[in-house]
Amino acid sequence: MLLHGWTMTGAVFDDLAGRLSDHACIAPDLPGHGRARHVAPTADALAESIAQTLAPLRAPVVVGWSMGAAALWRYVACHGTGEIAGLITVDMSPRMRPAPDWPHGLADQDDGSIAAIARRFRRDWDGASHGIAASMFASDDAARRAEARSAILSQDPDTMRRAWDMLVDLDARAIVPRIDIPWLICSGAHSRVYPAAASDWIAAQAPQGRRHVFRRSGHSPHLEEPDAFAQAVRAFTRTL
């Protein structure tokens, strides 16, 4: 089960699903996004969307990228881990908002700059979409950024702003030590979104956490190093 990031849809995993042809993959659109754009993007809606998608499945591995990881943590807070065989999360912090005792939030941001980002999203979504797309990747590949920006602009701006505000307000730090199943914590070495320390903290707190760094990737290793990412997923599932 593949859970996409903010401003994306399940289609962002089409290539990965093709590479994992020996696995049965499902990649739903999460609330507020794509075919689920009519559902308000609240934290509880994310959790319930996952619960409904999991219901007919038999102990899948769940991959959560960015917002998908936050949604997964909310699901675990509400429903536990009994329906899941293992977790893979990709470049997400359990708390996006930095604090004096929490340096593992959004990279190089503070309350003032996060507020400025939110104002930019309200004032100029079209312009902001360039920065959102650029932040997804380690390199400045124009074609890749243009494809990401097209996906971003296919979403409803007001809904994306509400989803962003919801994510900034979440704090899943208390959930991480309670996740008692095998967990692969991934990030890209060149992420422009979160410091590596965020994933390191998760790996240190998770009872069965394992760390994996994609050396040539930024925020989106499944897109930037697709072969290596598929191999990492396959290797993890074989251990379960």
Q: What is the predicted pLDDT for the residue at 198? A: 98
Report d(CA 71, CA 234) in Å as an integer.
Answer: 23
User: How many distinct structural domains can be found in the chain?
Assistant: 1
Summarize pLDDT for 164-184 with one digit per residue, the tens: 999 999 999 999 999 999 999
Q: What is the CATH number of the domain that holds 219?
A: 3.40.50.1820
Range of the domain at 202: 2-238
For residue 140, the one-letter residue type is D
Instruction: Please give the model's pTM, rounded to 2 decimal places.
Output: 0.97
**Average model confidence (pLDDT) for the chain?**
97
Q: Quick one: pLDDT band at residue 3, thresholds 50, 70, 90?
A: very high
Summarize pLDDT for 141-158 with one digit per residue, the tens: 999 999 999 999 999 999
Beta strands 86-90 and 183-188, pairing class: parallel
Q: What is the predicted pLDDT for the residue at 146? A: 97
